[in-house]
Amino acid sequence: MIRRRAPGKIGRTGPDAHRRVRRRWWAPALAVGLLLAGGVTVAASRGSAPAPVRIAVSGPARPVAAAAPVTTPGPVPDAVAPAPSSPPVRLLVPRIGVDAPVQGVGLNPDGTVEVPPLDRPGQVGWYRNGPVPGGDGPTVLLGHYDTRKGPAVFHGLPGLRPGDRVDVRRQDGSTFSYRVRELHQYAKDAFPTELVYGATAGPQLRLVTCGGTLGGNGHYSDNIVVFADPLPAGS
């Protein structure tokens, strides 16, 4: 189930894509609103906030149905010590049948954020200017919900439940594992930049895709964000 958040209920953690994004402890700062069918709204900053830009992507075939709220399973567990640095190469999410390659994405020369190519709908993008899996802070993985040709890698993301396991294989051969804590659905004009990309007390994972309803303009109304906490080594 997905907890639905409406505009105006996120407070200080929910600036929209048109508001200033402060420089984070890992730079450059990034505010992302995965809108939709028609594109990804992004504001990236190297000390000052430019106007948001749109990265064109193919339109999805169908909307994500809204679901009833989830019950958050208690407080965030104590922080796990950061692991040695190694980039992700594969994402495994057994509940929804994801076993997908991960490719780093960064910034284009014009400051926009790269996205996985549409001709590889099964590929996950890792924002490589942020923490690696197991690093100190939120690792952010982004994926298409679908394309004009059908479902994409994160099509099943709304089906995740608190307690589900997520494994991220890293380039050094190690695997860093997480447990889903909660899922939220945010209106695109209230994307919680600070909550998703801001500093955390230890390793965290975010999975982000499109959500909500498909409007007449071909755009999704919302974003779906999965928040996951690290599991102890050997779990």
% of the chain at pLDDT higher than 70: 62
- pLDDT tens column, 102-128: 999 987 787 656 778 889 999 999 999
**Average pLDDT of span 191-219:** 88
Q: Is a pLDDT exceeding 90 seen at residue 191?
A: no
Examine residue 123 and state whether it is found in any structural domain, yes or no.
Answer: yes
- pLDDT tens column, 7-65: 333 233 232 332 333 334 333 333 343 333 333 333 333 333 323 323 223 333 333 33
- 65 versus 162: the higher-pLDDT residue is 162
Q: Is a pLDDT exceeding 50 seen at residue 193?
A: yes
Structure tokens at 169: 């294989």
Q: How far apart are CA 193 and CA 153, in angstroms?
A: 23
What value does the mean pLDDT of the chain take?
A: 73
Domain of 112, in residue numbers: 3-61+85-230
Q: Is a pLDDT exceeding 90 seen at residue 96?
A: yes
Examine residue 24 and state whether it is found in any structural domain, yes or no.
Answer: yes
Examine residue 78 and state whether it is found in any structural domain, yes or no.
Answer: no
Predicted confidence at residue 112, as pLDDT, reads 55
Read off the amino acid at residue 120.
Answer: R
pTM of the model: 0.71
Q: How far apart are CA 220 and CA 37, in angstroms?
A: 6
Examine residue 131 and state whether it is found in any structural domain, yes or no.
Answer: yes
**Cβ-count burial 75-110 (b if 16+ within 10 Å, e if not):** eeeeebeebeebbbbbbebeeeebebebbebebeee
% of the chain at pLDDT higher than 90: 46
**Average pLDDT of span 132-161:** 94
**Average pLDDT of span 218-228:** 88
Helices (H), the chain: 193-197
Q: How far apart are CA 71 and CA 217, in angstroms?
A: 33
Q: Is a pLDDT exceeding 70 seen at residue 201?
A: yes
Q: How many structural domains are present in the chain?
A: 1
**Average pLDDT of span 158-184:** 97
Predicted confidence at residue 53, as pLDDT, reads 28
Examine residue 77 and state whether it is found in any structural domain, yes or no.
Answer: no
Kindly report the number of other CB atoms within 10 A of residue 139's CB atom. Answer: 24
Examine residue 72 and state whether it is found in any structural domain, yes or no.
Answer: no
Alpha carbon distance, N-terminus to C-terminus of the chain:
25
**Average pLDDT of span 143-164:** 94
Q: What is the CATH number of the domain that holds 120?
A: 2.40.260.10
Examine residue 166 and state whether it is found in any structural domain, yes or no.
Answer: yes
Examine residue 198 and state whether it is found in any structural domain, yes or no.
Answer: yes
Q: Is a pLDDT exceeding 70 seen at residue 197?
A: yes
Q: In whole angstroms, what separates CA 225 from the centre of its chain?
A: 6
Task: Report whether 190 contacts 7 (CB < 8 A).
Answer: yes
